[in-house]
Chains A and B, each alone.
Chain A
Amino acid sequence: MHKILYAEFLAQDIKRFRIQALKIAQKRKAGQFVIIRVRENGERIPLTIAGSDKKEGSVTIIVQGIGKTTKQLNKLKSGDSIMDIAGPLGKPSEIEKFGTTVVVGGGVGTAIAYPVAVALKEKGNHVISIVGAKTKDLVILEKEMKDTSDELFVTTDDGSYGFHGFVTDKLLQILNSGSKVDFVLAIGPIPMMKRIADVTKPFGIKTVVSLNPIMVDGTGMCGGCRATVDDKTVFVCVDGPEFDAHKVDFDLLTKRNRAYMREEKVAMEKFMKEML
């Protein structure tokens, strides 16, 4: 059992947890993830690590309650425990001194983009961050991103806060303004990452995305998380999770992530009934 040292909602359905996991806290690097299991009969789900506190021996994860397991997790409070946490898994982000970098976080993807932004800044890059959300109340980590970025842009789809439009619109504006950008990291929903890849491709900018396929063990053993990158099959858990955005088959990833839609609905209905 791993104790939740602290839990707080950042926005509706988006919760930040600090979970006791000494080894993982000491070892993890930007871009890596953990596999967790909330309860005894629970499924194993991957969650990217948003940060860690080595002294406290805790890792931070930020969870959007979408499916049964994430909703169940988001019901837990400080002092509760989760059943299992394993990691850190996956390859760390490749952090180099690129020059000018743009870090794009869409929705809860900002939580995953944040540690990479920190690492890029520490390496001496000029960091421009674009944080996008549907609406003002769903903007997360604005202060944290501001503190680690040289420039920060917030976008909302409905224009309720910051720039009115998608993160891609903002990125295109930056690129069209003639700013020389050497590296783009984009983390968010698959359609967003795909559009970012389309935007940066004509500019020839190295662009990296973090993929979020369905996983079971997270250690290379099952192959459930396979994706097609550069026309080759990769196992995202051990070969990734970060890949060259211009080579990822996003359509395949979208389809594969729908494999258990029927079961997800069944599980959710059962969960909702139990909550009544």
Chain B
Amino acid sequence: MQKISNKDRMKIPRQQMPEQEPLARVANFLEVNLGFDAELAKTEAMRCLQCPKPKCIEGCPVQIKIPEFILLISQGDFLGAAKKIKEDNMLPAICGRVCPQEEQCEVLCVTGKKNPPVSIGRLERFVADYEREVAGLSVPEPKPRTGRKVAVVGSGPAGLSCAGDLIQMGHAVTVFEALHELGGVLVYGIPEFRLPKTIVKGEIENLSKLGVEFVTNAVIGMTDTIDELLENEYDAVFIATGAGLPYFMNIPGENLIGVYSSNEFLTRVNLMKAYRFPEFDQPIIDVKGKNVIVVGGGNTAMDAVRTSKRLGAKNAYIMYRRSETEMPARIEEVHHAKEEGIEFRILTAPVEFIGDENGWLNGAKCIKMELGEPDSSGRRRPVPMAGSEYILDIDVAIIAVGNGSNPLISQTTPDINVNKRGNIIADENTCATSKKGVYAGGDIVSGGATVILAMGAGRKAAKAIDEYLKSLDVPVNQPAGSNA
């Protein structure tokens, strides 16, 4: 590698990620971001100052060795870089795409103090894609088996990362998924144009090759209870069911036809492929040439509104009761949405949905807001402005204001403690619940959060479960003296 001074590194501009043009991409469901090529990646990697005490790692929920993998990229050793990331994160192709790097690793980047930060996420994505396309996914050497079995409930990000770690630790792992397809929110929630499903499939296949067993159509809490899993086959359970119970706003007209939760809208499109109806059977209300509002300001809201645009909506609005500064969505998602012609109605909230005599939505009564004093979330509280109501003609409304906790497991497992919102109470460091041998992590504990936080919880849980399993009696199915 050529010698290059930090001063010269600072002079290299942040490399732009090629992406589909807005006009082209609103007409398809293909991925918006096209990813770095090898040259762009190497150039971007040169911008990393290789800080002796890297701040970026502190911002990463799973502490990826960021400067080390970036150094390998700058040296052209892309497969080595992939390996380095996988020491800490089994799902880099996914995280490289959906992590909010701008508020985790990149916000702490020292280069970023004067110039734009190093594109850590894009580099992570590049090496993961490179590895998959060029070398095929790497399957690490199988570890000696411990004879212990763990049930992982839910195949979303928390479940997959926990399963990936546990199998590497030598435990047998079965992942139970309620739906007919694996991947949880990565498959039913996040659209193809942000996270292609082939990438999720690839990561899951990789876990299968490592020996993880997957069972679909298994609604834990109903098909089997947690107690039955523990009694029958498993030494420990990790609950990673996500935040699967959509909130509505409790305003009049919310049950009109045309009002969807973001979960339903996205599930119909992403999981059930309703955008290819009638080739696929599951229908969705046709939004071609119609007006759609999405209520909410998070990533899910952006996913829903951009999906409606791709389905042909004439006007697609984001309606958010606070200002753009308070929006929880990633800056990149907001930026992409605006490029695609999404209209933002900020500081506005619907107060009533209006419908026709057949129960079909045709309008929303909206009210303008101003920001008052900060509320318990630390963000300034939106206060309705009297007399500012107006009617917006709409055909479809998608409610993306968050998720509560799904009741199916807590109903049938009363000895797992939950808080007043129904979220499972789990130890912050070990993910242990009030029930022996049962751990929980991801959105079912935190409420709606991010993919990487869920993955981080999955990894913490795997470590704690490993320790728990070791603390049990002498391992079963293992003759004395073998792989000590």
Contacts and interface: CB of A to CB of B under 8 A. Distances in A.
Interface stretch (A132-140, A159-167, A168-176, A264-272): A264-272
B222 to A, nearest CB: 6
Interface in B356-381: 358-359
Contacts of B261: 222-224
Interface in B40-78: none
B323 interface: no
Contacts of A219: 178, 219, 222, 244, 406, 408
A258 B358 contact: yes
Interface in B242-292: 244-246, 248, 250, 254-255, 257, 260-261, 263-264, 267-268, 272-273, 277-283, 285-286
Interface in A1-47: 23-24, 27, 37, 41-44
Nearest to A256: B257
B103 interface: no
Contact of B222 (A87, A255, A258, A264): A87
Contact of B217 (A86, A221, A235): A86
A142 interface: no
A83 B264 contact: no
Nearest to A91: B411
Interface residues of A, number: 43
B263 A44 contact: no
B245 A37 contact: no
Given A85-B217, A223-B246, A216 B267 contact: yes
A233 interface: yes
Given A84-B180, A258-B257, A221 B246 contact: yes
A233 B278 contact: no
A221 B443 CA distance: 13
Contacts of A220: 244-245, 406-408
A259 B267 contact: no
B467 to A, nearest CB: 31
A41 B223 contact: no
A256 B218 CA distance: 28
B179 interface: yes
B224 interface: yes
Q: For chain B, which range describes its interface: under 10, 10 to 19, 20 to 34, or 35 or more residues? A: 35 or more
Nearest to A23: B223
Nearest to A238: B407
Given A89-B219, A221-B245, A267 B359 contact: no
Nearest to B250: A233
Contacts of B263: 221-223
Given A37-B180, A222-B264, A259 B285 contact: yes
Contacts of A233: 248, 250, 254-255
Interface string A68-93: 11000000000000011111110000
B216 interface: yes
A44 B282 contact: yes
Given A23-B224, A24-B223, A223-B248, A255 B257 contact: yes
A264 B283 contact: yes
Given A88-B222, A216-B272, A222-B263, 14 more contacts: A23-B223, A27-B223, A27-B224, A41-B280, A69-B281, A87-B222, A220-B408, A221-B245, A223-B264, A224-B260, A226-B255, A228-B255, A233-B255, A256-B359
8 pairs of A and B residues whose beta carbons are closest in the complex: A255-B359, A263-B283, A222-B264, A43-B281, A86-B217, A43-B282, A221-B244, A223-B261
